[in-house]
C-alpha cells in the first residue's frame, strides 16, 4: 500500500517537472526576438504581408500569449506537439521516426560501457595498484578530457582513409533500400560500431573508475571480512557479496546521467550523420523550427523523468533495505 | 620539526601534499603553459586569425605554416593561439557562475532546510531534468550567440551538482557544536552561512569547482563545434566544427585544436585530482 502511494507521489512530481519544462520552453521561445513566420519568409525568399498574416493565423501566432500557452498545453496533453515549420509534418511523428535510431545508439553505448566498466572495475579491485588499475586511471582521465565530437572525427579519419572496415556516416548503406530483414540488421549494426564506440568510451571511462573505487570501498568493510572468515570462495565473495553492493553508486550515476546522454547523442549523431533525435534537434535549432525544438526538449525531459523513476526502482531491486521512505 | 603532532594548519599541510604529487604538478605546468600561450599569444602571433595566411590546405610542418592551413588558407597555429582565449575565458567564467549559483542555492537549502529546502530542491530537479546541451543550444540561438549569452547559458545549466554537494555539506555541519555556539552568541544567519559553515565545506567544493572548469570548457567547445558559439570569436570548437567537412583532406585543422582542448581539460582534471587527494585525505588510499 505504501509502495503504491510512494510511486503515485513520485509520478505526480515527475508530471509537475514535465509541465514546468513545457511552460519554461514556451516562455523562452516567445520571449526571444524574432518570429518564426519571418524566418520562414526569409528562408523562402520573401513573402507578401498578406501571406505572412495568413501564416500567423494558421499557426495561432496572432492570439495572446496566455491563450497560445493554453492551447499548447491542451494539445501536448493529448499527444499533439504541433506541426513542424520546416517539414510541415506533425512533430510527434517526426520524433517517433527518429527515436529508434537514438535509442539504439544510446542503449548500446551506455549498456556496453556499464557492463565492460563494471567488469574492469571488479577485476582491477583485486590488485589496487596493478596494471589494470593504472589503465583505468588513465582511461578515466583521457575519457573525460577528450571532447567526444573530436574523438569521433579522429575515428572517422582513421576508418575512412587508413582502415576502411567500418562505415563512418549514416545508419544504412546508400544502396541498401529493400534489403531483407537480416541483411538490413547487419548493415545497421555495421554502421553502429563507430558512433556507439565514440559515445561509449566517455561512459566507460566513468563507470570503470567509479566501480573500481566502489569495489575497493566495499571490499574494505566488515561484512566482507565475515564472508571470507566463513570460508566462502573468493569468487562468491567478489561477485555475490561485494559486487551487489558496489554496483549501487554506478546505477545511481547511470540514472542521473540520462539528462546529459542527450548532449552526447547530439554531438555524436552530428559527427556520424546518425539519423536520430539529436540530429533532428540540432537541425531544428539551426532552422528555428520552434515546434520541433519544443517537442524534442519535452520528449527528452520526459525520458529523463521516466529514467529517474526506473533508477529508483532498480535501486530497490538491488538493495532491498531501501524502503519507500 | 617533524609534524607528529596533529596538523595545526591544515591548508599548509594540504599545500605540501599537493606539491608532492607529481601528476598534480604536471597538471599545473600544463595549465600554466596553456594560459601563458593564450595570454601572450596575440603578441607572439599578431596576425588576425580570420585572415588568409598561405595557400589553403597547406600541410603542417611546412615553412609557410608550422601547423598547416585550413580549407580557407587560415594559419592553424595562429587560430589555435587566438582561439584559446575565448575557450578559456568562457570556460572559467561559466564555471565560476555555476559555482556561485550552486553554492548560494545549496547553502540556503542546506542551512534553512524545511520549506526553503524543498522549494530549492524542486528547482534543482527541474534543471537536472532539462537536457543541458539542448537547452543551452536553444537559449543561444534565441538570444543571438555572443560570448556573454554562451557563458550565461553554460552557467545556468551546470550548477545543479555544486548545489547538491553544498547542500549535503551544510546539512552535515549545521547541527554541530561550533555552529550552535555561534548561534547562541547571537550571530546572524548570513555570518553563520558564509563565515562559519562555508569554510568547513570548502575542501569538496574546491575540487568540484576545478572539475566544473573542465566541464565548462568541454561544453563551450561542443557548442562552438555545432556552430552555436560567437561567430566573430575564434575558438577551438569553432575550428573543429568549420573544418569538419574537409577532415579527409586536412586532418591537421581538426586534430590540433582537439589536442589543445584535450591538454587543457586534462591539466584541469589532474589539478582537481591532486586537490582531492590533498584536501580530502580520508579518500587518499584510492
How large is the ipTM?
0.88
A66-70, B154-158, B260-264, B282-286: the lowest-pLDDT one? B282-286
CA distance A189 to chain B (A): 24
Residue B2 in this model has a pLDDT that exceeds 90: no
Instruction: Give the nearest chain A residue to B211 (CA atoms).
Output: A144
Residue A127 in this model has a pLDDT that exceeds 90: no
A and B: number of Cβ contacts within 8 A: 140
- Could you tell me the end-to-end alpha-carbon distance of chain B, in angstroms, rounded to an integer? 29
- Distance CA(A158)–CA(A140), nearest Å, equals 22
Residue A31 in this model has a pLDDT that exceeds 90: no
Which backbone phi and psi does A83 adopt, to 5 degrees? -105, 140
- Distance CA(B98)–CA(B68), nearest Å, equals 37
Residue showing cell 561485494? A242
Reading the block at residue B283, the C-alpha cell is: 579518500
CA distance A147 to chain B (A): 6
Q: Give the one of A148, A150, A262 whose C-beta lies nearest to B134's C-beta.
A: A262
Length of chain B: 286
Reading the block at residue A193, the C-alpha cell is: 560500431
Could you give the dihedral angle defined by the CA atoms of residues B216, B220, B226 and B228, in that order, rounded to the nearest 10 degrees? 130
CA distance B186 to chain A (A): 36
Contact A271/A152 with Cβ under 8 angstroms? yes
Quick count: other Cβ atoms within 10 Å of Cβ B156?
18
Q: Give the one of A21, A29, A150 whose C-beta lies nearest to B129's C-beta.
A: A21
- Distance CA(A115)–CA(B260), nearest Å, equals 31
Interface test with A, best of B34, B87, B138 (most A CBs within 10 A): B138
- Distance CA(A50)–CA(B98), nearest Å, equals 46
Which residues in chain A have their CB less than 8 angstroms from residue B133's CB?
260, 262-263, 266-267
| CA distance to A304, B35, B88, B114, B184, per residue, from B268 (Å) | 29, 12, 11, 37, 42
Q: Give the one of B134, B218, B244 whose C-beta lies nearest to A297's C-beta.
A: B134
The per-residue pLDDT for B1 is 44
Interface test with A, best of B98, B131, B220, B250 (most A CBs within 10 A): B131
Quick count: other Cβ atoms within 10 Å of Cβ A65?
11
- Distance CA(B151)–CA(B132), nearest Å, equals 13
Using the 8-state DSSP alphabet, how is residue A174 labeled? G
Q: What is the full DSSP assignment across B83-128? A: HHHHHHHHHHHHHHHHHHHHHHHHHHHHHH-HHHHHHHHHHHHHHH
Reading the block at residue A145, the C-alpha cell is: 578530457
CB–CB of B138 and A153 under 8 A? no
Q: What is the mean pLDDT of residues B43-51?
A: 78
CB–CB of B137 and A20 under 8 A? no
**Band of residue B286 on the pLDDT scale cut at 50, 70, 90:** very low
- Distance CA(B215)–CA(A136), nearest Å, equals 20
Which residues in chain A have their CB less than 8 angstroms from residue B142's CB?
28-29, 31-33
Q: Tens digit of pLDDT for each residue in B220-264? A: 999 999 989 888 888 999 999 888 888 888 888 899 999 999 999
Residue showing cell 493565423? A57
Residue A200 in this model has a pLDDT that exceeds 90: yes
pLDDT winner (highest mean) among B39-43, B49-53, B59-63: B39-43
Which residues in chain B have their CB less than 8 angstroms from residue A157's CB?
247-248, 251, 254-255
A269-273, A286-290, B80-84, B97-101: the lowest-pLDDT one? A286-290
CB–CB of B142 and A29 under 8 A? yes
Reading the block at residue A133, the C-alpha cell is: 588499475
- Distance CA(B126)–CA(A14), nearest Å, equals 9
Burial label for A149, CB within 10 Å (0-12, 13-18, 19+), is buried
CB–CB of A150 and B137 under 8 A? no
Q: What is the mean pLDDT of residues A76-100?
A: 85
Pick the more confident residue, A322 or A61: A61
- Distance CA(A168)–CA(A160), nearest Å, equals 7
- Distance CA(B222)–CA(B217), nearest Å, equals 9
Residue A210 in this model has a pLDDT that exceeds 60: yes
CB–CB of B132 and A156 under 8 A? no
Interface test with B, best of A149, A159, A301 (most B CBs within 10 A): A149
Residue A307 in this model has a pLDDT that exceeds 90: no
Q: Give the one of A20, A32, A216 whose C-beta lies nearest to B143's C-beta.
A: A32
**Band of residue B35 on the pLDDT scale cut at 50, 70, 90:** very high
| CA distance to A53, A204, B132, B232, per residue, from A32 (Å) | 20, 39, 19, 21
CB–CB of A153 and B254 under 8 A? yes
CB–CB of B126 and A154 under 8 A? no
**Band of residue A259 on the pLDDT scale cut at 50, 70, 90:** low
The per-residue pLDDT for A152 is 93
**Band of residue A8 on the pLDDT scale cut at 50, 70, 90:** confident
Instruction: Give the nearest chain B residue to A309 (CA atoms).
Output: B129
- In chain A, the largest separation of any two C-alpha atoms, in whole Å, equals 86
CA A273 to chain centre: 17
Q: Give the one of B139, B226, B254 whose C-beta lies nearest to A282's C-beta.
A: B226
A25-29, A318-322, B113-117: the lowest-pLDDT one? A318-322
| CA distance to B29, B87, B271, per residue, from B35 (Å) | 10, 11, 14
Amino acid at each position: 500500500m505504501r509502495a503504491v502511494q510512494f510511486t503515485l507521489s513520485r509520478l505526480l512530481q515527475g508530471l509537475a517537472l514535465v509541465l514546468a519544462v513545457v511552460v519554461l520552453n514556451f516562455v523562452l521561445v516567445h520571449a526571444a526576438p524574432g518570429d518564426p513566420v519571418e524566418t520562414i519568409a526569409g528562408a523562402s525568399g520573401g513573402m507578401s504581408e498578406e501571406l505572412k498574416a495568413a501564416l500567423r493565423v494558421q499557426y495561432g501566432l496572432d492570439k495572446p500569449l496566455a491563450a497560445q500557452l493554453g492551447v499548447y498545453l491542451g494539445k501536448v496533453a493529448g499527444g499533439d506537439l504541433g506541426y513542424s515549420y520546416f517539414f510541415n509534418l506533425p512533430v510527434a511523428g517526426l520524433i517517433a521516426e527518429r527515436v529508434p535510431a537514438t535509442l539504439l545508439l544510446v542503449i548500446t553505448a551506455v549498456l556496453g560501457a556499464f557492463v565492460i566498466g563494471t567488469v574492469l572495475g571488479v577485476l582491477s579491485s583485486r590488485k589496487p595498484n596493478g596494471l589494470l588499475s593504472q589503465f583505468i586511471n588513465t582511461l578515466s582521465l583521457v575519457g573525460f578530457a577528450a571532447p567526444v565530437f573530436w574523438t569521433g572525427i579522429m575515428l572517422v579519419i582513421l576508418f575512412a582513409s587508413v582502415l576502411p572496415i567500418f562505415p563512418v556516416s549514416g545508419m544504412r548503406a546508400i544502396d541498401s533500400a529493400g534489403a531483407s530483414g537480416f541483411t538490413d540488421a547487419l548493415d545497421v549494426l555495421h554502421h553502429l560500431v563507430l558512433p556507439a564506440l565514440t559515445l561509449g568510451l566517455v561512459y566507460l571511462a566513468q563507470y570503470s573508475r567509479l566501480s573500481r573505487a566502489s569495489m575497493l570501498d566495499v571490499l574494505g568493510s566488515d561484512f566482507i571480512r565475515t564472508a571470507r572468515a566463513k570460508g566462502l570462495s573468493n569468487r562468491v565473495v567478489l561477485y555475490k557479496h561485494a559486487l551487489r553492493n558496489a554496483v549501487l553508486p554506478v546505477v545511481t550515476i547511470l540514472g542521473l546521467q540520462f539528462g546529459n546522454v542527450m548532449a552526447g547523442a547530439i554531438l555524436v549523431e552530428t559527427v556520424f550523420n546518425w539519423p536520430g533525435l539529436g540530429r533532428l534537434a540540432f537541425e531544428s535549432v539551426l532552422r528555428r523550427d520552434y515546434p520541433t525544438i519544443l517537442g524534442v526538449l519535452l520528449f527528452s525531459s520526459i525520458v529523463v523523468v521516466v529514467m529517474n523513476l526506473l533508477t529508483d526502482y532498480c535501486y530497490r531491486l538491488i538493495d532491498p533495505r531501501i524502503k519507500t521512505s | 620539526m617533524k609534524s607528529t603532532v596533529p596538523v595545526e594548519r591544515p591548508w599548509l599541510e594540504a599545500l605540501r601534499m599537493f606539491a608532492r604529487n607529481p601528476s598534480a604538478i604536471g597538471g599545473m605546468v600544463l595549465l600554466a603553459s596553456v594560459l601563458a600561450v593564450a595570454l601572450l599569444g596575440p603578441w607572439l602571433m599578431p596576425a588576425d586569425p580570420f585572415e588568409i595566411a598561405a595557400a589553403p590546405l597547406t600541410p603542417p610542418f611546412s615553412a609557410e605554416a608550422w601547423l598547416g592551413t585550413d580549407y580557407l588558407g587560415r594559419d592553424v597555429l595562429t587560430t589555435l593561439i587566438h582561439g584559446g582565449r575565448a575557450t578559456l575565458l568562457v570556460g572559467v567564467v561559466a564555471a565560476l557562475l555555476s559555482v556561485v549559483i550552486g553554492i548560494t542555492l545549496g547553502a540556503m537549502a542546506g542551512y534553512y532546510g524545511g520549506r526553503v529546502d524543498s522549494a530549492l530542491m524542486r528547482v534543482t530537479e527541474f534543471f537536472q531534468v532539462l537536457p543541458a546541451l539542448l537547452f543551452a543550444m536553444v537559449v543561444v540561438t534565441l538570444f543571438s550567440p555572443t560570448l556573454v549569452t554562451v557563458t550565461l547559458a553554460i552557467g545556468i545549466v551546470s550548477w545543479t551538482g555544486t548545489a547538491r554537494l553544498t547542500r549535503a555539506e551544510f546539512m552535515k555541519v549545521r547541527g554541530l557544536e561550533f555552529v550552535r555556539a555561534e548561534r547562541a552568541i547571537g550571530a546572524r544567519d548570513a555570518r553563520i552561512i558564509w563565515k562559519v559553515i562555508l569554510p568547513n565545506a570548502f575542501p569538496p567544493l574546491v575540487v568540484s569547482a576545478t572539475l566544473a572548469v573542465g566541464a565548462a570548457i568541454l561544453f563551450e567547445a561542443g557548442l562552438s563545434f555545432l556552430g552555436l558559439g560567437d561567430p566573430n570569436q575564434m575558438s577551438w570548437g569553432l575550428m573543429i566544427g568549420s573544418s569538419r567537412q574537409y577532415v579527409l583532406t586536412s586532418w591537421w585543422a581538426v586534430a590540433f585544436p582537439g589536442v589543445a582542448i584535450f591538454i587543457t581539460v586534462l591539466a584541469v582534471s589532474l589539478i582537481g585530482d591532486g586537490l582531492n587527494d590533498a584536501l580530502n585525505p580520508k579518500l587518499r588510499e584510492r
